[in-house]
Copies of this chain bind each other. A is one copy, B any other.
């Protein structure tokens, strides 16, 4: 039985998890040589957004013509379909396949984890490639505790619930010395900053990392007392928020 299993596994393709740029022109700051080599060879992808995936493959200099690329759309609408087995046909037939999200690392703060989980169930080998994660870049640059941290995703939209959550996060920062990382829909960034300043102690430290890897990247890390009253515009800009002690 063991031998048969090993044989079956050997005949399957590998699922490469391919991080993509966080900003339009950041190819030099994004792709490792190995990631490029994979993208130059693999012609089948499971993607969150087919249009951006094509752009990233071009940016990575793939020699495979666009009309030869097989892209399985794993965006919002496609995900609702019950049968995802067609995503795995290539892999089960022994072809290597890439997984790409719309920005950064597939499976982190995006829905790609479902695809990876299914790959494990099917016995498909999963290989994650090095690339940009806004969470990691922001955490590195914050100067906050990187030995214990939590990514919370989006905070609640409801004002009262959000206020309560911000206070909870502040308590956790203090009691566990655990850095708290969260995001917001870009058009609500300014509002979130105001709410953090209102809800939390002036001594609590906040880091905001904006436009990561772009030419206009901007990172600041300081106590809330210093954030207060500054003329900062985060409206519609990709930003990530970190609370630390």
Contacts and interface: CB of A to CB of B under 8 A. Distances in A.
Contacts of A151: 147-150
A141 B17 contact: yes
Given A17-B140, A107-B143, 12 more contacts: A29-B35, A108-B136, A108-B140, A113-B143, A114-B143, A117-B144, A117-B221, A120-B220, A128-B136, A128-B138, A128-B219, A133-B133
A31 interface: yes
Interface in A163-192: 178
Given A136-B105, A153-B148, A178-B150, A126 B219 contact: yes
Contact of A108 (B105, B126, B139): B139
Q: How large is the interface on A (under 10, 10 to 19, 20 to 34, 35 or more residues)?
A: 35 or more
Contacts of A117: 143-144, 221
Given A146-B113, A222-B120, A217 B127 contact: yes
Nearest to A138: B128
A1 interface: no
22 contacts: A17-B141, A28-B33, A29-B130, A30-B32, A30-B130, A32-B32, A107-B143, A108-B139, A112-B140, A113-B142, A116-B140, A116-B141, A117-B221, A120-B221, A126-B143, A127-B217, A130-B213, A135-B136, A148-B150, A148-B152, A148-B153, A149-B151
A34 interface: yes
Contacts of A142: 107, 113, 116
Contacts of A132: 130
A194 interface: no
A110 interface: yes
A194 to B, nearest CB: 22
A155 to B, nearest CB: 12
A192 to B, nearest CB: 17
B17 A28 contact: no
Nearest to A147: B153
A98 interface: no
A114 B140 CA distance: 11
A16 to B, nearest CB: 10
A42 interface: no
A32 B34 contact: no
A22 to B, nearest CB: 9
